[in-house]
Amino acid sequence: MKFVPKKTKEKILSVYKTLYIKKDLLNQIEQIAKENNTSLNNVIISMIEFCLENSEK
């Protein structure tokens, strides 16, 4: 199944966290965001949600 970032939704309650990401990984995520005309944050959250939804329970 191909990963596609989710469309930006209306604002929901969120919290602020800091992550340390390897530079090469950040470059790849920024490219996905650019290709999908969305934010870096949206791509990262979409990836986390995708992994959680598709992981074996």
- What's the pLDDT tens digit per position in 25-55? 999 999 999 999 999 999 999 999 999 988 8
Q: The whole model's pTM is what? A: 0.75
Provide the residue ranges of all domains of the chain, joining segments of one domain with +.
23-53
Instruction: List helix spans (H) across 1-57.
Output: 23-35, 40-53
Looking up tokens 């979409």 gives 46
Q: What is the pLDDT of residues 5-17, one digit of tens each?
A: 777 667 778 889 9
Q: Are 36 and 5 in contact (CB under 8 A)?
A: yes
Distance CA 57, CA 43 (A): 23
